């Protein structure tokens, strides 16, 4: 029979995967919209900015919430968390570029949307690698969290921060 901690860890692992899937879906929709340009340039630029904010919020929640607590409880995950935080930095630099291009695209027509599309193509590849690794490494730790040591309990004090503010 599963313990309360095991159930909560599995639920957070699932929530993490669902948050990633939502971000994947939104990025795919945004890339499709940019490719088809079925919305106005300003609308597409605003959607780019909203996506950047959502992904940033998600990663900040992980860094300040789940990862920080997980490291306190599971120092054996330090190498994994370090890699994930480094990925967050790389992704943040791409998001900065996308934001700058989207800001320039607002109210003006020009090549910014094509440039945004190229940045988002690269971002999609990095995000997929990052999310897959995180879901395997962190998801496994969360799924195995109900080992009777109680380490998962403090991880859940930040409930809700994994979800992106979309």
| Residue 13, in any domain of the structure | yes
CA dist., res. 48 & res. 55, Å (int): 11
Range of the domain at 124: 4-158
Find the CATH number of the domain harbouring 26. Answer: 1.20.120.520
User: Which pLDDT value is given to residue 45?
Assistant: 85
Which pTM was predicted?
0.79
| Residue 56, in any domain of the structure | yes
Q: How many structural domains compose the chain?
A: 1
CA dist., res. 137 & res. 17, Å (int): 12
| Residue 166, in any domain of the structure | no
Distance, first Cα to last Cα, the chain = 36
User: Which pLDDT value is given to residue 104?
Assistant: 84
Q: What is the pLDDT of residues 13-55, one digit of tens each?
A: 888 888 999 999 999 999 988 877 756 667 888 889 999 999 9
| Residue 164, in any domain of the structure | no
């Amino acid at each position: 029979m599963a313990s309360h901690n095991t159930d909560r860890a599995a639920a957070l692992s699932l929530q993490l995967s669902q948050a990633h899937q939502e971000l994947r879906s939104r990025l795919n929709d945004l890339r499709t919209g940019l490719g088809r340009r079925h919305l106005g340039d300003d609308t597409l630029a605003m959607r780019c900015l909203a996506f950047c904010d959502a992904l940033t919020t998600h990663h900040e929640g992980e860094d300040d919430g789940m990862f920080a607590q997980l490291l306190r409880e599971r120092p054996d995950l330090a190498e994994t968390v370090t890699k994930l935080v480094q990925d967050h930095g790389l992704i943040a630099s791409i998001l900065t570029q996308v934001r700058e291009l989207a800001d320039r695209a607002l109210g003006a027509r020009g090549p910014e949307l094509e440039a945004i599309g190229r940045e988002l193509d690269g971002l999609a590849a990095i995000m997929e690698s990052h999310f897959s690794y995180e879901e395997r490494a962190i998801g496994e730790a969360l799924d195995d969290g109900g080992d009777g040591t109680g380490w998962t309990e403090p991880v859940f004090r930040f409930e809700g921060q994994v979800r992106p503010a979309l």
